[in-house]
Chains A and B, each alone.
Chain A
């Protein structure tokens, strides 16, 4: 079984998993309104790290927070990153894309390549293997975990370190603005008055290994799947085709009653949340509580799948179904069990669900103590 042995989250809400979970549990959000930032003509709401705190002339902010997050995750884990049987998988959509802006910076252009950014990380940790960069739009963070499960299952590595990262920039924000996808206020996932998403900065790390025997309190990555809508490169399927199919494979023969919740993508765009409600109902999971963490972090893109998996594990450990911040009145056509309040649970498993541009969707089943 593939077991999570360490994790960390670096976000505007904190630099440890515990701080992040405590902040989310208490309802804190890092979303703020920015007016005129980066010369952008329109204001936007986002969850941003303090850029000055990461200013450096040798490493970009993306590289620095990945290195920081991995270092913190590995503290006391007893993993020597110089081992050949340790693999790094980086999950990111845009990496150092800000380097394309010729006004911006002193870094060599080649660091804009995702593979070079990843090599900067493995160089720091003295890891001899070529890092794998998963760049699958907004589902990258779950895809990277599925990749890790496969590499460990094949026996090629003993440990896989997965780190998801994205840092917002004029490039990304203006693009989402051109798509009319950003909410003028803090986002409202699954709500009747939702007006779009917010973007966010984060890096999040999960370390996996393979074990024959798993303890009661160890987290197991059970099954994951990636499926395409085969419909449109930017608009989600009206039938939730790919999301439904990914959910079905991830769920497998597990009874829905055993799921504490589905941690949905829940970006708070009109189309995404509606599509997820269709997919969840089609998969026979309409009775399972659903939540979204976008109201706390915004959409952290390449980090989202990793960050939201970690927060969800912490919530189950705490017997808690986290409330969906920003939600008030259900605004999707297929009924879902969404609440803005934290709720108690004794269940020990959840599904992490994501969708992204390119028509891609991913689902991952995580269970404490494994499937039993």
Chain B
């Protein structure tokens, strides 16, 4: 059963079907959302765009759920999907190795060149010891996503999932469409 949902695009933010007011667009929008809704997690500024997007979307989602406790739990999974994997981070890292005369591979950029890092960022923030997973499909397909999430409840401990689509091709082009779903008995 779907409990809450969040949509973020470069010019729209919608929480549980209601638009959230904001002034900025594009990459600056994510910083604005961070400052207005979170504000106490400076690690945000170290993240690549995919992690920033997924992190902000999950924060808005969990604020909508309410009663945030940050107590460790193993019954909630984070399973996200997208098209471009970690392309924005890959491009940023490639820039640090492209020029042989200016070859300084950046570990801080490299660590984000995996799409599942965003699921780890969400797990760390919320102390989720449950399943985290990242799946790439070349087109957004709600049927595939929902079937996959339904399957994930086969895990003996998982009772709820932060799931959905978190995609970005570069800093200015992104789309998050995530939700909180609970296991149906």
In the complex, A touching B (Cβ < 8 A): yes
Using CB atoms and an 8 Å cutoff, list the residues of chain A in contact with chain B. Answer: 39, 41, 93-95, 97, 100-102, 112-116, 118-119, 130-137, 143, 147, 150-151, 153-154, 156, 170-171, 174-175, 177-179, 225-234, 241-242, 245, 249, 356-360
Q: A115-B138, A135-B114, A245-B129 are in contact. Are A177 and B105 (CB under 8 A)?
A: yes
Which of chain A's residues have a CB closer than 8 A to the CB of B124?
Answer: 230-233, 359
Residues of chain A within 8 A of B120, CB atoms compared: 228, 233, 357-360
B98 in contact with A102 (CB, 8 Å): yes
Interfacial chain A residues near B137, Cβ < 8 Å = 115, 130-133
7 A/B residue pairs, CB under 8 Å, sorted by A = A130-B137, A132-B135, A136-B116, A150-B154, A179-B107, A249-B155, A360-B132
A135 and B116 contacting across the interface, CB-CB below 8 Å: yes
CB contacts (< 8 Å) of A119 on chain B: these are 138
Given contacts A154-B150, A175-B105, A358-B114, contact A249 B156 (CB under 8 A): yes
> Is B5 positioned at the interface, with any CB of A under 8 Å from its CB?
no
Identify which of B114, B127, B148 gathers the most chain A CB atoms within 10 Å of its CB: B114
Known: A175-B110, A178-B106. A357 touches B117 (CB 8 A): yes
B91 to chain A: which residues have CB within 8 Å?
A: 100
Q: What is the total number of residues of chain B having a CB less than 8 Å from a CB of chain A?
A: 55
CB distance from B95 to the nearest CB of A (A): 9
**With contact pairs A100-B91, A113-B84, A130-B138 given, residues A137 and B114 touching in the complex (Cβ less than 8 Å):** yes
Q: Is B130 an interface residue (CB 8 A)?
A: yes
CB distance from A272 to the nearest CB of B (A): 15
B155/A359 in contact, CB under 8 A:
no
Return chain B residues, CB-CB under 8 Å to A359. Answer: 120, 123-124, 132
Asked if B32 is at the interface of the complex by the 8 Å CB criterion, the answer is no
Nearest CB to that of B108 among chain A residues? A178
A241 to B130, CA, bound (A): 11
Residue pair A227, B74 in contact (C-beta under 8 Å): yes
- Residue from B113, B127, B138 with most neighbouring chain A CB atoms (10 Å): B138
B131 beta carbon closer than 8 Å to chain A = yes
Q: Mark B31-47, 1 if CB is under 8 A from A, else 0.
A: 00000000000000000
Q: Provide the residues of chain B in CB contact with A93, threshold 8 Å.
A: 114
From 143 to 168 in chain B, residues with beta carbon under 8 angstroms from any chain A beta carbon are 144, 147-148, 150-152, 154-157
Known contacts: A151-B151, A178-B107. The answer to whether A228 contacts B134 by CB under 8 A is no
Q: Which residues of B contact A (CB under 8 A)?
A: 72, 74, 78, 83-85, 87, 90-91, 93-94, 97-98, 100, 103, 105-107, 110-111, 113-117, 119-121, 123-124, 126-139, 141, 144, 147-148, 150-152, 154-157
A104 to B17, alpha carbons, bound, how many Å?
A: 46
Contact A230 B105 (CB under 8 A): no
A171 to B138, CA, bound (A): 23
Complex: A171 Cα to B148 Cα, angstroms: 31
Please tell me which one of the listed residues A116, A130, A228, A356 contacts residue B129 in the complex, with CB atoms under 8 A apart: A228
Whether B136 contacts A114 by the Cβ 8 Å rule is yes
Which listed residue (A116, A179, A230) contacts B110, Cβ 8 A? A179
| A230 lies within 8 A of B135 (CB) | no
Residues in A neighbouring B131, C-beta threshold 8 A: 225-228
If A179-B110, A228-B123 touch, whether A358 touches B117 (CB-CB below 8 Å) is: yes
Give the chain A neighbours of B119 by CB distance below 8 A.
228, 358, 360
- Which residues on B sit within 8 Å (CB–CB) of A97? 90, 113
With beta carbons under 8 angstroms apart, the residue of B97, B114, B129 that contacts A357 is: B114
Which B residues touch A227, using CB under 8 A?
74, 129-131
Most buried by B among A131, A135, A177, A242: A135
Residue of B whose beta carbon sits closest to that of A114: B136
Q: In the complex, what residue of chain A is closest to B123 when comparing beta carbons?
A: A228
Across-interface contacts of B128 in A (CB, < 8 A): 228, 230
Q: How far is the CA of A115 from the CA of B140 in the complex (A)?
A: 11
Residue of B nearest to A95 (CB): B85
Report the separation of the CA atoms of residues A100 and B116 in the bound assembly, to the nearest whole angstrom. 20
B155: which A residues are within 8 A, CB to CB?
225-226, 249
Verify A132–B148 contact, CB threshold 8 A: yes
Name A358's contact: one of B87, B129, B132, B157 (CB within 8 Å): B132
Residues of chain B within 8 A (CB-CB) of A113 are 83-85, 87, 136, 138
